[in-house]
Structure 1
């Protein structure tokens, strides 16, 4: 008999943000997190539902928690952009020599 895995609300929200905010496909995000793609799809549908009862029993994020989550996602995106710019600078520096 196998036991069901329980995932925290934060884990689910981070998984959802990979797909909705960072542009990963559902299958890529699910594979990298070690979960089933169908489960991730269900989490996304629950989070987008009009009744806002996603992730039963865990309630909604407070405005502060929501802001923190958005800011963390923005920091990740900006760090990726910074890394891309660094790599582009190196590339173009080699091209001009």
Structure 2
């Protein structure tokens, strides 16, 4: 398998997405983004803010406090990226279900 090279911005956004998604797992985020779990873990260890080790309650409290404009932009971009990935996933699932419905509807001889 060929090694993929990701930009620094993509790596930062992936880490931001992971850190801003409560209850998210490395495996789940990596699958959504199409990267390996090990690569994402390495990026989180290297580029992460450490919010994942502080606990979810503390991370939620950080969001509730007044945040700088730059931090707000980063958080919103991460949320936007997550929603885009989720929309793409849902569209794919919908298309698969439509194809399955057409296939099975064609097999019935009522």
Smaller-chain TM-score bracket: 0.5 to 0.7
Structure 1: 5+ residue runs without aligned partners? 1-6, 53-60
Structure 2: 5+ residue runs without aligned partners? 1-6, 31-35, 60-69
Tell me the distance in 2 between the aligned counterparts of 1:49 and 1:88. 39
Kindly report structure 1 stretches of 4+ aligned residues shifted beyond 2 Å.
7-10, 15-22, 39-45, 49-52
| Residue 29 (structure 1) aligned with residue 37 (structure 2) | yes
- What is the correspondence of 1:8-47 to structure 2 with a 5 Å cutoff? 8=8, 11-15=11-15, 17=17, 20=24, 23-24=28-29, 28-30=36-38, 35=39, 37=41, 39-40=42-43, 42=45, 46-47=50-51
Query: Residue 47 and residue 63 in structure 1: after superposition, are their counterparts in 2 closer, same or farther (change >3 A)?
Result: same
Tell me the number of residue pairs that the alignment of Structure 1 and Structure 2 aligns: 79
Which structure shows the higher helix fraction?
2
Task: Give the superposed CA RMSD.
Answer: 4.0
Query: What TM-score comes out, normalization by structure 2 length?
Result: 0.48
Query: What TM-score comes out, normalization by structure 1 length?
Result: 0.53
Which is bigger in relative contact order (C-alpha 8 A, separation at least 6)?
2
